[in-house]
Amino acid sequence: MIEKTSAGAAPRIHTSVARDLGVAIVSGQYQPGAVLPGEIEFSAQLKVSRSAYREAVRMLAAKGLVESRTKTGTRVSERSRWNMLDPEVLAWAFVNEPPEPFVRSLFEMRLIVEPAAAALAAVRRTEPQLARMGQALEGMGRHGLSTPEGRQADQDFHSLILLATGNEPLASLSSTITAAVRWTTAFKYRKNAVPRDPLDDHGAVFAAIAAGDAAQAREAMTALVSLALEDTNTVLGD
Amino acid sequence: MIEKTSAGAAPRIHTSVARDLGVAIVSGQYQPGAVLPGEIEFSAQLKVSRSAYREAVRMLAAKGLVESRTKTGTRVSERSRWNMLDPEVLAWAFVNEPPEPFVRSLFEMRLIVEPAAAALAAVRRTEPQLARMGQALEGMGRHGLSTPEGRQADQDFHSLILLATGNEPLASLSSTITAAVRWTTAFKYRKNAVPRDPLDDHGAVFAAIAAGDAAQAREAMTALVSLALEDTNTVLGD
DNA sequence: GCACCTCTATTGTCTGAGTAATCGAGGCGC
DNA sequence: GCGCCTCGATTACTCAGACAATAGAGGTGC
């Protein structure tokens, strides 16, 4: 839950190279099918050793962004092979302003997954999980979404619901969805379009989950995400 | 769609080391929190160079399975950080018989995602996509699920539906879900529990999508996955 | 007992060399 | 001319060895 992001992260070269290349790829700077310069040339150009460069490429390959073959070289994979659900890939997609259809797609996915997850969580959540949801909700109310603490609490809330489904693959979507929540929220605030206070919506979801009412939880979560999508649409000028 | 798996794949050392380690981790041979032996010792033990070993570790780190820190060493991450939706991780999970709750979780996820995807596909699919779905369906009927060709057609069918949603993040679940379809089907047949012919179920989904009937598509897909889950339950002895 | 310092073990980074696989060109037979 | 085969060059892959940087452990002084 409490992800320590920037603090203790020692800057490792292969990681930053992977990040830079990854951002360049997902933002379209390298089109799918394009071949990267050879290892020796490219690593020299980036002012890093071949080993560090190769490790970076391995990371990108593990996320489906590139494929390396002897003689052919390293080429950018087709978009359909990209692992868009990988939290890092998603984060890279939001470094530059992502295309509007992509943001809508994320909300569409949330509208599919989160209501169902809320329904499952309503009947499966344990007491400690419920307590932590309450704490997150309280944190949202206390700090507000304009502060990092409040946003963290928001993400925690959504994450906890997915966790409470007791479904591990579904919980893996947690990092993806919280990333989506994080970036779209930041996006909205960057545009100075501060929407309604979403605390009531979250409260309704929490109440339904606390009551163990699956149908109500599904409905409340649907409303929550729909309203968030509306807000985003307003910002995007729909 | 047509994934060339084993054919032209040259065996690269870092890939096979990553696979072996990945399988060992997801099958619980290395518990979360456990630290792997040091690079030098472990790479020597595996009879590979340190560079190859490090590249393998970078791949595992990219999938969230391990975390490396100086001095601390490389340790297996908490399960909640694992990228279970990564196609390779999922494949690794099925190398050894995965725990039963995990298989159920996958079906639960399919039950959430696929009906919604079918509904979207019904209203968004293009004619070429519909044609390819028809071909896949025909391929299933012609070869049957006992042949690799028939199973491939089955996976293609499900994959095409996710693709036809026009939702990129959702389409990323395609490889995950087809992997789930692949392994559970193989699992069932390995147990010699050949179930009903699922062709009619698929036909109903196809018809609804062809007709552009979203509600009907959702319903038919729900029925399809539910029946598949029932079959699996029978095999698992529920 | 506590704060600080040193020391050591471990990953991170770099360099340079040699290996293996693959694609394309050129030669050969028909 | 056309198809097949051989050969060579290009590229990623693998290996070995060295040094740097960092974060813990353990000792030291107060």
| pLDDT > 70: percent of chain A | 93
Any idea which fold B13-81 has?
Answer: Arc Repressor Mutant, subunit A (1.10.10)
The model's pLDDT over B149-181, given as tens digits with 9 standing for 90+, comes to 888 999 999 999 999 999 999 999 988 898 888
In A, minimum Cα distance to B114 occurs at A112
Report chain A's mean pLDDT, rounded to a whole number: 90
* pLDDT for the residue B11: 84
Cβ–Cβ contacts within 10 Å for residue A16, how many?
A: 14
A69, A105, A169: residue with CB nearest B106:
A169
Confirm if B113 and B173 have CB atoms less than 8 A apart.
yes
> Is CATH 1.20.120.530 the classification given to domain A97-236?
yes
| Any strand C atom closer than 7 Å to A29 CB | no
Which residues, 6+ apart, have CB-to-CB distance to A176 below 8 Å?
A85, A86, A87, A90, B85, B169
Q: Rounded to an integer, what distance in angstroms lies between the CA atom of residue B186 and that of residue B122?
A: 29
pLDDT > 50? residue B1: no
pLDDT > 50? residue B210: yes
- Which single residue has its CA nearest the C1' atom of nucleotide C16? A50
3-state secondary structure of B207: helix
The model's pLDDT over B85-144, given as tens digits with 9 standing for 90+, comes to 999 999 999 999 889 899 889 999 999 999 999 999 999 999 999 999 999 999 999 998
Please classify residue A210 by burial: count the beta carbons closer than 10 Å to its beta carbon, then call 0-12 exposed, 13-18 middle and 19+ buried.
middle
- Which single residue has its CA nearest the C1' atom of nucleotide D15? B49
* pLDDT for the residue A46: 96
Q: Which nucleotide is nearest to B50 (CA to C1')?
A: D15
Encoding tokens for residue A191?
Answer: 């545009």
> Is CATH 1.10.10.10 the classification given to domain B100-236?
no
* pLDDT for the residue A194: 61
- What separation in angstroms does the CA of B153 have from each of A122, A232, B107, B130, B135? 37, 39, 19, 14, 8
Q: Rounded to an integer, what distance in angstroms lies between the CA atom of residue A55 and that of residue B27?
A: 25
Q: Kindly calculate the radius of gyration of chain A based on its CA atoms and give it in whole angstroms.
A: 20
Q: How confident is the model at residue A2 (pLDDT cuts 50, 70, 90)?
A: very low
The model's pLDDT over B12-42, given as tens digits with 9 standing for 90+, comes to 999 999 999 999 999 999 999 999 999 999 9
| Any strand D atom closer than 7 Å to A50 CB | yes
Give mean pLDDT, residues A165-185: 88
The model's pLDDT over B38-58, given as tens digits with 9 standing for 90+, comes to 999 999 999 999 999 999 999
In A, minimum Cα distance to B18 occurs at A62
* pLDDT for the residue A6: 38
Q: Is the pTM of this model over 0.85?
A: yes
Residue scoring higher pLDDT (A36 or A8) = A36
Question: Which sequence spans correspond to the domains of chain B?
Answer: 13-81, 100-236
Encoding tokens for residue A175?
Answer: 């990092």
The model's pLDDT over A39-57, given as tens digits with 9 standing for 90+, comes to 999 999 999 999 999 999 9
In eight-state DSSP terms, residue B29 is S
- What separation in angstroms does the CA of A32 have from each of A8, A66, A75? 34, 9, 7
Measured in angstroms, what separates residue A221's CA from nucleotide D19's C1'? 56
Asked if B58 and A55 come within 8 Å (Cβ–Cβ), the reply is: yes
Q: The tokens 């006992």 sit on which residue?
A: B146
* pLDDT for the residue B2: 37
Which residue, among B88, B172, B175, B178, would best test binding to A if mutated, counting the most A CBs under 10 Å from its CB?
B172
pLDDT > 70? residue B148: yes
Measured in angstroms, what separates residue A40's CA from nucleotide D8's C1'? 21
Asked if B80 and A171 come within 8 Å (Cβ–Cβ), the reply is: yes
* pLDDT for the residue B233: 80
The separation between CA A15 and the C-alpha centre of its own chain, rounded to angstroms, equals 19
Best CA proximity match to B70, nearest among B38, B33, B42, B48: B38
pLDDT > 90? residue A238: no
In A, minimum Cα distance to B180 occurs at A169
| Any strand D atom closer than 7 Å to A51 CB | yes
The model's pLDDT over A85-126, given as tens digits with 9 standing for 90+, comes to 999 999 999 899 889 899 889 999 999 999 999 999 999 999
B14, B86, B120: residue with CB nearest A58:
B14
Which residues, 6+ apart, have CB-to-CB distance to A195 below 8 Å?
A188, A231, A234
The model's pLDDT over B185-204, given as tens digits with 9 standing for 90+, comes to 877 777 766 667 778 999 99
Measured in angstroms, what separates residue A2's CA from nucleotide D27's C1'? 35
Asked if B62 and A168 come within 8 Å (Cβ–Cβ), the reply is: no
Residue scoring higher pLDDT (B56 or A198) = B56
pLDDT > 50? residue B60: yes
Residues of chain B neighbouring A81 (CB-CB closer than 8 A): 175
Encoding tokens for residue A229?
Answer: 């999508």
Cβ–Cβ contacts within 10 Å for residue A164, how many?
A: 24
Asked if A58 and B55 come within 8 Å (Cβ–Cβ), the reply is: yes
Asked if A169 and B70 come within 8 Å (Cβ–Cβ), the reply is: no
- Residue B35: strand pairing partners: B75
Q: Rounded to an integer, what distance in angstroms lies between the CA atom of residue A153 and that of residue A47?
A: 40
Which residues, 6+ apart, have CB-to-CB distance to A123 below 8 Å?
A212, A214
Encoding tokens for residue A230?
Answer: 């509306």
Residues of chain B neighbouring A173 (CB-CB closer than 8 A): 85
Residues of chain A neighbouring B78 (CB-CB closer than 8 A): none
Q: Which nucleotide is nearest to B12 (CA to C1')?
A: D13
Q: The tokens 């030098």 sit on which residue?
A: B40
| Any strand C atom closer than 7 Å to A45 CB | no
Measured in angstroms, what separates residue B73's CA from nucleotide C9's C1'? 10
3-state secondary structure of B55: helix
Residues of chain B neighbouring A79 (CB-CB closer than 8 A): 168
pLDDT > 70? residue A7: no
Q: 3-state SS string over chain A?
A: CCCCCCCCCCCCHHHHHHHHHHHHHHCCCCCCCCECCCHHHHHHHCCCCHHHHHHHHHHHHHCCCEEEECCCEEEECCHHHCCCCCHHHHHHHCCCCCCHHHHHHHHHHHHHHHHHHHHHHHHHCCHHHHHHHHHHHHHHHHHCCCCHHHHHHHHHHHHHHHHCCCCHHHHHHHHHHHHHHHHHHHHHHHCCCCCCCCHHHHHHHHHHHHHCCHHHHHHHHHHHHHHHHHHHHHHHCC
* pLDDT for the residue A164: 97
Q: Rounded to an integer, what distance in angstroms lies between the CA atom of residue A87 and that of residue A103?
A: 15
